[in-house]
Amino acid sequence: MEIVDKINHFLVEEFEADPSLIKPEANLKETLDLDSLDYIDMVVVIESNLGIKVDPDDFVDMVTFQDFYDYVAKRLHSKEPA
C-alpha cells in the first residue's frame, strides 16, 4: 500500500474524515476539524500505524495534507524508531 493511501486510510478510520475531502492541497486542521487534543491522538495513531516517532510540535508548521505526507515520508526515510 502506498504511504499516502495508508495515511489517508487511518485518517478516515481514526478521525472519521470524509475521504473525498482529503486532498494534498486541502487544509489538514480544517478538513479533519482538529483541536490540540486531536494532534496528540494523531501522534499516537502515526506511531502505532507507521512505527515512527513523532513530536507533536512538528505539526505547528503543517498546513496541508501534502505537508503531512512529506513529513511522514521524511520520517520513514530517516527510520527513527518509535
> What residue segments make up the domains of the chain, in order of their start?
3-15+26-78
Radius of gyration (Cα) for the chain, nearest Å? 12
Number of H helices, E strands in the chain: 4, 0
Nearest to 26 by CA among 14, 37, 18: 18
pTM: 0.86
Distance CA 63, CA 45 (A): 19
**Using the 8-state DSSP alphabet, how is residue 79 labeled?**
T
pLDDT digits (tens, 9 = 90+) for 16-75: 999 999 999 999 999 999 988 888 898 998 899 888 988 888 888 899 999 999 999 999
Model pLDDT, residue 73: 92
Fold of domain 3-15+26-78: 1.10.1200
φ/ψ of 75, rounded to 5, equals: -65, -40
